[in-house]
A = this chain, B = another copy of it.
Amino acid sequence: MDIATLIGIVGGLGLIVGAILLGGNLFAFVDAPSLVVVVGGTMAATLVMFPLKTVISSFKVAMKAFLAKDPNPQELVEQVVSLADKARKESLVALEKVEIDDPFLKKGVRLVADGSSQAQVQSILESEINFLKQRHRRGQNVFKGLGGAAPAFGMIGTLVGLVNMLQTLDEPEAIGPAMAVALLTTFYGAVMANLVFLPVARKLEERSNDEQLVLNVAMEGVLSILNGEHPHLVREKLLSFLPPASREGEG
């Protein structure tokens, strides 16, 4: 699991709660109607922005991104090398019986074992990578949309509070608390956008880049197997795709 995301969100909220407690009391910052306006308004705007199924699937993508374990490119390289070895010692057809967990690598190896041409394999695998990229981008767009809508509805809520307050200036002792409540929606919107939505959109982008790199390595590996390249050469070539940090661990 991506523990940093959890630490960041929980830690950030903790700091804000701490700051509140130092200077006042937490109850002054909890106002159910304000929360409903910001959260509800943000969700309403998001429903206008995206088809419902895109919103739902983007939350699934986000969940999966945080719960899935980090892709391990070294392990993948070793698996491809052992497949290349088997293909050279036995035959391409022999790869059909190998057990492969990764669905993308599995698909590529099966295509090779079925005797597809290099152009066919490359075109099908590239199209898979491309759809993954677009699916991830849609997920990021939903979170960016949430991150843009939250401060806007925070401001709308504050305007509602201010207009209500200005009608009742004849009760001076009510002005302060009324204005405090009016500011709460801006506060909620700012926290939601800057601690959750926008940062999560950013992390989805980072993880998508990582995942694409791994799929590209797998595709290059499958094509090398198809071309009957020497396992030694395959390993060297695939490792050159990884950043130095990932490579150093290798023998």
Q: Of B19, B145, B157, B200, which is within 8 A of A202 by CB?
A: B145
Give A69-104 as 1s and 0s: 1 = Cβ < 8 Å from B's Cβ atoms.
000000000000000000000000000000000000
Task: Specify which of B11, B193, B200 is in contact with A40 (CB 8 Å cutoff).
Answer: B11
Residues of B within 8 A of A23 (CB): 33, 160-161, 164, 178, 181
Task: Decide if B127 touches A167 in the complex (CB within 8 Å).
Answer: no
Number of interface residues of A (CB under 8 A): 92
Given A7-B47, A8-B48, A45-B194, do A166 and B176 touch, yes or no (CB 8 Å)? yes
List of B residues within 8 angstroms of A190 by Cβ: 152, 155-156, 159
A144: min CB distance to chain B, Å: 10
Shortest beta-carbon distance from A145 to chain B in Å = 7
- Tallying the copies of this chain within the complex gives 5
8 Å CB contact of A160 from B16, B169, B203: B16
Q: Say which residue of B134, B162, B193 sits within 8 Å of A183 (CB atoms).
A: B162
Q: Is A63 at the interface (CB under 8 A from chain B)?
A: no
Closest B residue to A52 using CB positions: B4
Are A37 and B15 in touch, CB under 8 angstroms?
Answer: yes
Q: A15-B40, A202-B50, A240-B124 are in contact. Are A187 and B175 (CB under 8 A)?
A: no
Q: List 18 A-B contacts (CB under 8 A).
A: A4-B50, A5-B47, A5-B48, A7-B47, A8-B49, A12-B48, A16-B41, A16-B160, A19-B36, A24-B163, A48-B200, A54-B206, A127-B241, A128-B240, A156-B194, A166-B183, A167-B177, A169-B173
Q: 15 new A-B pairs (CB below 8 Å) besides A19-B34, A50-B203?
A: A4-B52, A11-B40, A11-B47, A12-B41, A12-B44, A24-B168, A29-B160, A48-B195, A48-B202, A145-B199, A156-B187, A163-B180, A163-B183, A163-B184, A166-B180
